[in-house]
């Protein structure tokens, strides 16, 4: 039995007392791994690489500190830009019931087609009504538009309108749905 000192190479597959061996082949097993030459050699980082690594770390720290200093300066609060009234603003007023109560949070869909030489483009806008039942469509198209209104607890509404004025107001009246028995 040869090998490195402290390590043994032995026979495996030997049968227990009174049993025949599984094969006549000799197999070897190694106990712990053998040390290689590289395990005994200690290397240190070359001074050139060590200096380069320190410079990179110092540069990263300096850049990080400068970025933090720039972001720490207080910025003056910006004033809100003045509201400019759009030239073409379509207003849709949604009311419902016998008392003409405003319908809040109704979805208003405005669909229209822009005609082009080759292919027409279809557009759809979706807005919600406010607590007064009013929805505003900025930069509204001129011409024929389809207005559809969907609100919970009300009958769905849809109708084609002809928009001729840039600041036109469309009035939509919703009805209660019929009772189901």
Task: Render pLDDT for 92-129 as a digit per residue (tens, 0 to 9).
Answer: 999 998 888 999 999 999 998 887 778 888 889 899 99
Q: How confident is the model at residue 166 (pLDDT cuts 50, 70, 90)?
A: confident
Q: How confident is the model at residue 49 (pLDDT cuts 50, 70, 90)?
A: confident
- The answer to whether the beta carbons of residues 109 and 150 sit under 8 Å apart is yes
Predicted TM-score (pTM) of this structure: 0.51
pLDDT tens digits, one per residue of 69-94: 666 556 666 666 565 555 678 899 99
| Residue 154: alpha-carbon gap to chain centroid | 34
pLDDT tens digits, one per residue of 34-48: 666 666 666 666 777
Mark out the alpha helices in 121-180 (DSSP H runs): none
Cα distance between residue 98 and residue 101, in whole Å: 8
Token pair in block for residue 113: 């087609």
CATH architecture for segment(s) 89-174: Sandwich (2.60)
């Amino acid at each position: 039995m040869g090998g490195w000192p402290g390590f043994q190479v032995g026979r495996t597959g030997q049968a227990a007392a009174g049993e025949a061996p599984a094969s006549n082949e000799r197999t070897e097993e190694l106990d712990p791994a053998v040390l290689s030459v590289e395990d005994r050699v200690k290397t240190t980082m070359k001074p050139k690489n060590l200096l380069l690594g320190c410079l990179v770390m110092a540069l990263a720290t300096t850049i990080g500190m400068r970025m933090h200093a720039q972001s720490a300066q207080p910025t003056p609060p910006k004033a809100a830009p003045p509201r400019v009234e759009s030239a073409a603003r379509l207003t849709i007023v949604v009311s419902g019931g016998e008392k003409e109560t405003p319908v809040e949070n109704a979805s208003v869909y405005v669909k229209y087609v822009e005609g082009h030489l080759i292919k027409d483009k279809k557009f759809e806008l979706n807005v919600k009504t406010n607590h007064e039942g009013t929805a505003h469509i900025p930069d509204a198209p001129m011409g024929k538009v389809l207005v559809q209104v969907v609100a919970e607890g009300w009958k769905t509404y849809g109708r084609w309108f002809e928009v001729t004025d840039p600041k036109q107001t469309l009035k939509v009246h919703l009805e209660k749905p019929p009772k189901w028995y």
